Amino acid sequence: MMRTKLGKILLPTALGFMAVLGVLIAINVIFNGGTVFTESDNGFFMYFVAPAFVIAALIQYKLTLPFWKQFKISKKIFGLRMIEFVGLLSIVSGLIFGWVFWERDYGFTEFILVSLTGIVAFAIYWTVNVTTLKQLDAG
């Protein structure tokens, strides 16, 4: 039982996290020539990734798994089907991400771009996460 629960916490979180990091690195390589590997990243990989993973694992344990259990029973969460719920969650999370990481000196366009990046990142994360949970339950 504990092994299964630990797997449902760590595996979906890790796979979702790796998918998002892979896409963000690919975007950096395509649009910025891979500067994330050559320029200072202001401690992003050192100071942000590890704590963000721990927070994501805690969210997986405290919120995602109970919601997942509810979804398996009723096929809805707050009256929304899974795809609707994940979409709404991604939009709201992405806008919060945009608000937190928006560099106001660059104007409102920066907020839009950072928010869109957040929405895409959360959509990727939650899609991989939920798909992994579904596969774990099927297998």
Residue 103 lies in a domain: yes
- pLDDT-wise least confident of 4-8, 14-18, 30-34: 30-34
User: Has residue 84 been placed in a domain?
Assistant: yes
Report if residue 39 sits inside a domain.
Answer: no
User: Which class for 13: exposed (0-12), middle (13-18), buried (19 or more C-beta within 10 A)?
Assistant: buried
Pair 121, 18: CB distance under 8 Å: no
Mean pLDDT of all residues belonging to the chain: 88
Task: Count each helix (H run) and each strand (E run) in the chain, helices first.
Answer: 6, 0
pTM for the predicted model, two decimal places: 0.86
More confident call, 111 vs 3: 111
The strand pairing partners of 80, in sequence order, are: 77
Q: Count structural domains, the chain.
A: 1
Lowest pLDDT segment from 46-50, 57-61, 128-132: 46-50
20-34, 57-71, 112-126: range with lowest mean pLDDT: 20-34
77: helix, strand or coil: strand
Digit-coded pLDDT (tens) for 25-37: 888 788 777 666 6
Q: Is residue 92 part of a domain?
A: yes
Rounded Cα gap, residues 33 and 53, in angstroms: 26
**Is residue 77 assigned to a domain?**
yes
Residue 76 belongs to some domain of the structure: yes
Whether residue 38 lies inside any domain: the answer is no
| DSSP H/E element including 115 | helix 108-138
Which residue segment(s) compose the domain that 78 sits in? 2-32+55-138
User: Per-residue pLDDT averaged across 48-75, rounded?
Assistant: 92
Mean pLDDT value of segment 90-102: 94
Query: Is 50 a member of any domain?
Result: no
Query: Above 60 in pLDDT, residue 119?
Result: yes
More confident site: 111 or 47: 111
Lowest mean pLDDT among 15-19, 35-39, 78-82, 99-103: 35-39
